[in-house]
Structure 1
Amino acid sequence: MKALTWQKKGKITCESVPDPIILDGRDAIIKVTACAICGSDLHLMDGLMPTMQCGDILGHETMGEVVEVGRDNKRLSVGDRVVVPFTISCGECRQCRWENWSCCERTNPNGKQQAETFGYPLAGLFGYSHITGGFAGGQAEYLRVPYADVGPIVVPEDLSDEQVLFLSDIFPTGYQAAEYCEITPEAEKTIAIWGCGPVGQMAIRSCFLLGARRVIAIDEVPERLAMAREGGAETIDFRTHNIQETLIEMTDGQGPDAVIEAVGMEAHGADTTAQKIGSAVMSAATLERPFALNQAILGCRPGGIVSMPGVYAGALGPVMIGALMNKGLTLRTGQTRVQKYLAPLLERIRKGEIDPSFVISHRSASLEDGPELYKKFRDKTDYCTKVVFRPHGVAA
């Protein structure tokens, strides 16, 4: 089969690789009908995630048709149309019972190695380095899904692939980030969001779904800022405006009640002289850069919430922990507990409350286009906001 593979820093290729096979009774094999490039895949492309190996198959936003089921999997049947969460969860350990699906204690075969970095093993992830299990990803024609009796959700035929594909990651991720802000219609909260990429866009819509009064979105890419405004957000272009000063002005000195940092380890931009010096030093050293996180901490009103869906791999440059502590802020973060949100968010799509396909800018019926589309997405050229592949050439 064809698959998109990581070769080395900056190099993604489409290769012929062996078809996946059933390895455990709870497995399933799906024929991939749609898959996407996620913003966090760019961290892999840029060499910022450790333990990637040449030839690793990428991708963790995947859906398709079940073509084979392991003997112990009683939940799925051949022919089922499913969306696959990027987190691999057993459904039986204490973390899964607590609905902390992304903290599953059993599904990462390299958990001992991961514990050396994080203290404990966490859930395996599709296509996201060997420290998260070394599982083949879904930017391929076929995918083996471990623990397939727990993760995938069967989706109705009257919804298109593009409407439901992002249940695999970015829609639940944006929704969880918004939910962490403790939004209710009665609270009339103002939420500020750093980053108007796909997760940021889903977070904007999710904030309004939950009842936010205002959303202020921050970015520098014109098409992303325009998309944010289409979703109801007010926007700040940090190329032309000082973020902190503008937030204070827009909120009459009160500040946002909660903030969402949807950028992660490759943030750019700084307001103050100290931040600009740190930006130059850390960029030169290729360290993970907490600029967006620091701006979010600074921008949140005292006593507010900092929600952080942005991905980080390890140690950061200087974080404004003093501001976090002295302002009495609550920091909430974590890989998305996708399984918790699958059914309720599918129902929101079915009811017409949201159509997540709005974020798609580029479509391809061939994985051969993958390397070039990775570059466009990374470099934000050709108005690229989200890429979806149809590996078997079926029209969207």
Structure 2
Amino acid sequence: MVEAYDAVDVIRIKRDRQKLPMDAIDWVVDAYTRGVVADEQMSALAMAIFLNGMDREEIARWTQAMINSGETMNFRALSKATTDKHSTGGVGDKITLPLAPLVASYGVAVPQLSGRGLGHTGGTLDKLEAIPGWQADLTNDRMMEILEDVGAVICAAGSGLAPADKKLYALRDITSTVDCIPLIASSIMSKKIAEGTGALVLDVKVGPGAFMKKEADARELARTMVDLGTDAGVNTVALLTDMSRPLGLTVGNALEVRESVEVLAGGGPSDVVRLTVALAKEMLEAAGVKDPDVEEALKDGRAMDSWKRMISAQGGDPDGPLPVATDTHEVTADEDGVMTEMDALAVGVASWRLGAGRARQQDPVQAGAGIEIHAVPGDKITKGQKLFTLHTDTPDRFDRALDSLRGGYTIDPQAAEGTGARDDVVLDRIS
């Protein structure tokens, strides 16, 4: 087979800050997937893209080339409209758990293909695997059956969806080209468009605990992804949401499942409820449901019924006991004052060090490990008051977790009560 391009020529084009020809993009993504383009060559191209960027047409074509590298799904056989959500990841971000069954309770299908955690950000599948018997891996046929019957599925994405992205992501991880907006946007959207959902709501986190630390970068990523979805015929909107401090009052797998069930029971932390409600309204309106009263669906038990059916359909026991870590350690306040800050990254890294997360994809996680948060910015604090409870099965992890937490929160003896309280978790909407 005579190749249409040479990898060196494609690298040179982007190195020299020129626009990649559309057929060159098609060729290089396909050739890399086939093994014709070597890892070191794709590394050089990824770095050239990182340094010199891509325009909207290049990003759209790159995304389509990654979609074309594998299989695509479609849900046209379902009797329901489909809508999906993707979060760019954060600390304590358990929103998918209450959100999917809440939206499904309105007769809309939610095919939520999710991933596992890496580093300080948690993975939805890791959280759900804390539930006894629950299975992440489903055949496409079984997925369609559950969507038609229950309306919501949260499962692992099949290896056939955008395999070029899986290969390229692993390469970006070891070549310091992960935080590149064209490559992030095309990575996320190639999988989401390949899933075949009719509508997509993006939760783009911004702040110390998020992938995007600066609002301008998060806004650019959201705009890029909304454009990619729109260009591909998917009804796409994005919410910019706050990740300066953890979401909710728990970080860690079983702890976050417990908190999600509290939300489905009509309770739970107010920031988790507000974001769940905001995203549910966007998803339902994109699917054609007008003026849904989602707060009522959380209170009257409809969403909880959907949750139990969704968990049972994937082999889980929704009423089964969740894992509990063998050891705990309490962190208490050294002085009186008002908590004015809490660093999401510090809390996320501490939870990871306790065993709730992994450093490499193949590492195991502890289902019961993590952190309970007992005070939040704006709260009045008294000396000796409990601030955090750390959970782990390996108590020799406590010291490193505590190292991360030190400096991760501020108690100001002079501040007025309410200083630093979270105004709203949703910062903006981009469509």
Alignment TM-score, normalising by the size of structure 2: 0.23
Q: Higher helix share goes to which structure?
A: 2
Higher Cα radius of gyration: 2
Q: Higher strand share goes to which structure?
A: 1
Alignment TM-score, normalising by the size of structure 1: 0.25
